[in-house]
């Protein structure tokens, strides 16, 4: 009986090991396939972007701005990406960092705060411009329509790759654009929220309220915009519901 139990245990270990190995292999092949599908021209930019959250958490603003500049050079050096949603994200992240510096730096001089707010406004307006143009071009477009839009310039600079590789890059890019249709509308909502914060700081209260309302129209779960509007209008602040805390929206 003991021998039988040992054999069963050994068999179970072998089966579990095989399942784990199978799972690891499938995961490896899956992520390998994804990585091989990413446009090689912007891989360095995405690698650099992995440092952003760490810098932001530690308020390493100089590193953030240098990082944003390096990433922007990569994207804007490729025709297809010059006015992409990725560049819009860069400008909005710059704006967020500038706002953080302006509002939460200890003992900041009023003139320095005003300068940071002006720079934040410039970056926010640029992000809004890019997002709105991008949505006007791609919102509600189907994969075949997206392919027709991007094909003329997407292949530029990919001549060294085989045709099947180029098509793999193109197919992945189409999926990225389709996946970003909803997300970019939320990103635009965040940009309008940031612009509202700038306008409120400059005492342009009507403009600030309009920005917050626009942000809420774009994304009705934008609690930051809603509470900024409530603060401006002297209304009670709204807390996240239990469900919202359990299932928070995806971040940029």
Per-residue pLDDT of 55-91, as tens digits, reads 999 999 999 999 999 999 999 999 999 999 999 999 9
Q: How far is CA 31 from CA 149, 167, 176, 226, in A?
A: 28, 18, 15, 38
How far apart are the C-alpha atoms of 142 and 174, rounded to whole Å? 9
Q: What pLDDT sits at residue 239?
A: 78
Q: Which of 147, 134, 137 is nearest to 86 (CA)?
A: 134
For residue 28, pLDDT beyond 80: no
Q: What pLDDT sits at residue 4?
A: 45
Q: What pLDDT sits at residue 186?
A: 96
Q: What pLDDT sits at residue 36?
A: 79
What is the per-residue pLDDT across 190-230, written as a single tens digit (0 to 9) for each?
999 999 999 999 999 999 999 999 999 999 999 999 999 99
The percentage of the chain sitting over the pLDDT mark of 70, rounded to a whole number, equals 81
Residue partners of 148: CB distance under 8 A and separation at least 6: none
What is the per-residue pLDDT across 162-178, written as a single tens digit (0 to 9) for each?
999 999 999 999 999 99
Using CA atoms in the order 128, 131, 134, 137, what is the torsion angle rounded to 10 degrees? -70
Q: What pLDDT sits at residue 11?
A: 42
How far apart are the C-alpha atoms of 172 and 39, rounded to whole Å? 8
Q: What pLDDT sits at residue 208?
A: 97
How far apart are the C-alpha atoms of 7 and 20, rounded to whole Å? 20
């Amino acid at each position: 009986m003991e021998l039988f139990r040992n054999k069963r245990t050994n068999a179970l270990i072998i089966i579990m090991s095989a399942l784990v190995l199978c799972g690891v292999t499938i995961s490896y092949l899956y992520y390998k396939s994804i990585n091989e599908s990413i446009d090689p021209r912007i891989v360095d930019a995405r690698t650099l972007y992995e440092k952003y959250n760490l810098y932001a958490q530690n308020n390493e603003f100089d590193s953030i701005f240098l990082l944003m500049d390096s990433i922007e050079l990569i994207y804007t050096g490729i025709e297809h990406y010059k006015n992409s949603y990725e560049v819009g994200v860069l400008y909005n992240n710059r704006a967020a960092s500038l706002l953080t510096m302006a509002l939460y730096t200890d003992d900041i001089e009023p003139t320095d705060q005003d300068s940071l707010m002006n720079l934040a406004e410039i970056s926010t307006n640029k992000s809004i411009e890019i997002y709105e143009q991008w949505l006007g071009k791609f919102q509600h477009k189907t994969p075949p329509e997206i392919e027709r839009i991007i094909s003329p310039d997407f292949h530029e600079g990919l001549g060294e790759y085989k045709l099947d590789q180029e098509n793999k890059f193109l197919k992945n890019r189409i999926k990225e654009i389709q996946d970003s249709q909803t997300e970019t509308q939320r990103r635009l909502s965040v940009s309008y929220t940031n612009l509202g914060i700038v306008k409120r700081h400059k005492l342009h209260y009507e403009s600030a309220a309009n920005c917050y309302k626009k942000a809420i129209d774009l994304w009705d779960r934008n609690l930051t915009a809603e509470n900024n509007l409530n603060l401006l209008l002297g209304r009670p602040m709204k807390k996240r519901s239990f469900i919202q805390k359990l299932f928070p929206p995806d971040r940029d």
